[in-house]
Amino acid sequence: MRPVTSPHPETWLKVTPSGLFCEPGGFYIDPTRAVERAVVSHGHSDHARPGHAHVLATRETLAIMTQRMGEGRAGATQQALALGEVLDVNGVRLWLRPAGHVLGSAQVCLEWRGSRAVVSGDYKRRRDPTAAGFEPEPCDVFVTEATFALPVFRHPPAEAEIARLLRSVALFPERTHVVGCYSLGKCQRLVALLREARWDRPIHLHGAHVALCRVYESLGVKLGDLRAATVAKKDELRGAIVLAPPSAVADRWARRLAEPVVAVASGWMRVRQRAKQGGVELPLVISDHADWDELLATADDVQAPEVWVTHGREDALIHALAQRGIRGRALHLVGRGEEDEDAAPEAAA
């Protein structure tokens, strides 16, 4: 698609110790350390770092960053960019397209002298009531994650997993079901999916999940009756669903719960041994990342002759892309995979 006279994206979009740098535009995308100008794809802490002088992101991502980092730490100056709105930065055209990962998550689309690169951040292709759905943008280079880039990772429909959770609640009505989930994105998606499945009773939250749920609600995502698990009495939590960080579900915090059934919602739960290590009784395969089929389908959808892989299991993905005639390149970005499911489950548990 790129005219022959256009520069290859590798001449203007470079891997640096601070992350991907758009040279002509003078800004970084998801920089891993504090920089002058940052474009941030979404609010997870391995993409959104504190201390930048200037941050550009969606309104939702800016609100999430401010909540998590504190006023003033999420960019000395903030600039909100609406999805689809095009900006010119020193001759680089820049716009955002939804990535479907969490609320506010966006792909960063860049065009320089007729050559186009899309940095997708983290993304998924499944429907998520709390995040705008992924939109493929045709490009010359597509920068992708590879968290679940093995054919063993094919996520079942999230609705079916929620149905399993509710069947378990019906089978063990005297026990508390505590679901380990990340505080940004997964937690709110689970709440929304439970509401869609007609679970109208209060959902109890670990303290670490409360603030971000408030941010979601202030941004127009309705989550229903949410309560603090910390103040509830043990007996009140019988038959209840409690959401907590994965690190808390099988540890001391969970002692306040009534004979808890420990569930964890993550794409990693697909593999039995992984689930067993964490002492999980009910593994729920619900992920905010693209699975194997979706990674490959997305590479097709964006029609890019070249795909750069930021982090994850790049071997399998690059091998499979080559079979489709797509050139793959591993970027080995440092500092990725430290929050949400990017993190290997051992580190998360």
Partner 1 sequence: MSLPAFAELLERLVFTPGRNAKLSLLGRWFADQPDPERGIGLAAMTDELVFAVAKPGVIRELGAARIDPELWRLSYDYVGDLAETLALVWQPRAGLRSRSATGAERESQAMEEATNAPPPTLAEVVEALETTPRAGIPALIAGWLDTLDAGGRLALIKLVTGGLRVGVSGRLARVALAEWSGRPVEEIEEVWHGVAPPYAPLFRWLEGAAPRPDPRDTPVFRPLMLAHPLEAADLAALHAPDWRAEWKWDGIRVQITAGPGGRRLWSRGGEDISGAFPEILAAMEFHGVLDGELLVVRDGEVAPFADLQQRLNRKGVTARMQRDFPAAVRLYDLLFEGAEDLRGLPFDARRARLEAWHARAAPARMELSALVPFDSLDALSRIRDGARAASIEGLMLKRADAPYVAGRVKGLWWKWKRDPLTVDAVLMYAQRGHGKRSSFYSDYTFGVWRDDGELVPIGKAYSGYTDEELAWLDRWIRNNTVNRFGPVREVERGIVFEVAFDAAQLSTRHKSGVALRFPRIARIRRDKPVEEADRLEAVMALLEKRSG
Q: Which residues of this chain interact with partner 1, rule CB under 8 A?
A: 100, 124-127, 133-134, 150-154, 156-157, 160, 164, 168, 171-172, 250-252, 254-255, 259, 261-262, 270-273, 275-277, 279-283, 293-294, 297, 300-301, 313, 315-316, 319-320, 323
Nearest CA to 246 among 194, 213, 286? 286
**CB 147 → partner 1: shortest distance, Å?**
13
Token code pair at residue 347? 């580190």
Residue 9 to residue 5: CA distance in whole angstroms:
12
Q: What's phi and psi for 152, nearest 5 deg?
A: -75, -15
Q: List the beta bridge partners of residue 73.
A: none
Q: Is there a contact between 26 and 89 (Cβ–Cβ < 8 Å)?
A: yes
DSSP 73-107: TS-SEEEE--TT--EEETTEEEEEEE-SSSTT-EE
**CB 226 → partner 1: shortest distance, Å?**
24
Token code pair at residue 37? 């100008």
Measured from the CB atom, the residue of 78 and 176 that comes closer to partner 1 is 176
**CB 167 → partner 1: shortest distance, Å?**
8
Distances (CA, A) of 246 to 43, 254, 257, 280: 19, 11, 15, 10
Strand, helix or coil at 294? helix
Measured from the CB atom, the residue of 113 and 164 that comes closer to partner 1 is 164
Q: Is there a contact between 100 and 134 (Cβ–Cβ < 8 Å)?
A: yes
Token code pair at residue 339? 């929050």
Measured from the CB atom, the residue of 33 and 313 that comes closer to partner 1 is 313
Measured from the CB atom, the residue of 160 and 334 that comes closer to partner 1 is 160
Measured from the CB atom, the residue of 73 and 238 that comes closer to partner 1 is 238
**CB 144 → partner 1: shortest distance, Å?**
15
Q: How many CB atoms lie within 10 A of CB 196?
A: 12
Scan for tokens 């992984």, then name that residue: 274
**CB 281 → partner 1: shortest distance, Å?**
5
Query: Distance from CA of residue 254 to its chain's centroid?
Result: 25
**CB 214 → partner 1: shortest distance, Å?**
28
**CB 83 → partner 1: shortest distance, Å?**
17
Measured from the CB atom, the residue of 54 and 313 that comes closer to partner 1 is 313
Measured from the CB atom, the residue of 153 and 308 that comes closer to partner 1 is 153
